[in-house]
Amino acid sequence: MKKSLFTIMILIMCLFVFAGCAKSKESSSDEGSDKKAETEDNRTEEKEEDTSEKKKKKTKKERNDKKDNDEETETEKPGTSEKNPARLTESECRDKIDELRGSNPVRPAQEEILAELANIPTVSRVVDEQGAIFSEMDNDQRARLRRIIIDEVLWEESGLAKAIPVVYDHDREDADVLIPLDDAKAFFKEIYGEEDFVPAQYEAVDDEYMLFSYGDGDPWNSVEHMQYFEDDDYILVSGPEFYGDNSGVIELLGYADILFEKNPDSRYGVTLLYGRCRPNDIRVSYVNTSSELKPAAGKTYGGINLIDNDPATVWCEGVSGTGVGESITLKLDKKQPVFGIVIVNGYTADYTLYSNNGKVTDVQVDFGDGNVISGLIGGYAFEGVSGDYLAELNTSKVELDQPVMTDTITITITAAEKGAKYDDTCISGIKVY
């Protein structure tokens, strides 16, 4: 009996121990699960924080990349960045000129130096109807431009005088003056944007100097009655362009358009950009004359001969004497700004006809609205000269100080001289500009 009770007690104690162990194991398992869950939660939170931080960094990088791209795009747009402005193409230069010509003329503060700079490409005769960006012309054309720039530097009355240091070496036979090459390069870039100076065939460079000798007698072109047009980035100088030389030849070429780019790095505030010569677009619709010589020997002498651009045809007055008081009236195709007229005086078909017939010596020109001016008309000839050259030698201008709006011009002969054989006064041509 006692043995049975002892056995029962042992069994009960074993049950208690087993139950405690099971509970301890379950508790330990629950605690492990909780720690595992907590660890996974912490990792998830750290992962989320890491992802969030990476997103922040990526977003910041994207913003910076976008900013860089925007700045790069802005720099590449023409005219949008002062640090790296894009130069206009030739077609864009022509469009800019047309745009500026449609605005009202202005009087810029630097008018005098602009006029001198504008005459550099015209005097060097690199401006033509085709037009060109000066820094992109062929090297021979740029060399002509550079020569006139040096001429201006050496001329004491020029606004460019002494812009480059020069050395006078009277012992040299190959040059009158020496121009430090680095100074010359910097100045060429400042004036017309020269980037890749290479001496042309007849430009001498020796020991880091340009060798320069004075010259004279070359023909020139010049811009007259300059008008100025301006916007925030560009200045246009425009006016009638004439050819001239030491023999006294005058020829109306058209209208020069010289476009400047504003440049704060230049001491003059601008750099020469582009130039062209527009054809003369003022058209005369018809001509009325107070008299005309009757046709003879198959030739006519009416007013239409004044506007046919043929120096071999003439208008000849038809009254007795030298024709003082006779008049020519030009009717233009529309009312427009006019600076003046050029008259080709005398019968310029050849030397004999020129010498035998009379010539105008003085005229009065009425441009309308009270704009009446007088002008002396000159000219001469010598044997053997061609008709075309005779016409150039006998061209004279009668012009206004400022352009006027007009569609009618009347020229009256106020003085004339008879020829060796006839007293008929002749005029071979008239152009309006």
pLDDT beyond 80 at 394: yes
* 63-98 pLDDT tens trace: 445 444 444 444 443 333 444 458 899 999 999 999
E strands within 279-326?
Answer: 284-289, 315-316
What would the pLDDT profile of 20-68 be if each residue is shown by its tens digit?
434 444 444 444 444 444 444 444 444 444 444 444 444 444 444 544 4
SS3 state of residue 64 = helix
Which pLDDT belongs to residue 94? Answer: 98
The domain spans of the chain are 90-278, 284-432
Is residue 375's pLDDT more than 80? yes
The CATH topology of domain 284-432 is: Jelly Rolls (2.60.120)
Q: Where does 195-233 show beta strands of DSSP type E?
A: 204-206, 209-212, 220-223, 227-230
Least confident of 51-65, 226-240, 321-335: 51-65
Least confident of 4-13, 133-142, 214-223, 336-345: 4-13
d(CA 192, CA 178) in angstroms, rounded, equals 21
* Percentage of the chain lying above the pLDDT 70 cut: 80
Cα gap 396→328, rounded to integer Å: 16
Tokens 């006692």 correspond to: 2
Q: Which structure tokens are listed for 407? A: 């569609």
What DSSP string runs through 80-110? S-SSSPPPPPHHHHHHHHHHHHTS--B--TT
CA distance 244 to 222: 8
- Tell me the pTM: 0.78
pLDDT at site 287 = 98
Q: What is the band of 359 on the pLDDT scale with cuts at 50, 70, 90?
A: very high
Banded pLDDT at 214 (limits 50, 70, 90):
confident
Tell me the residue length of the chain.
433
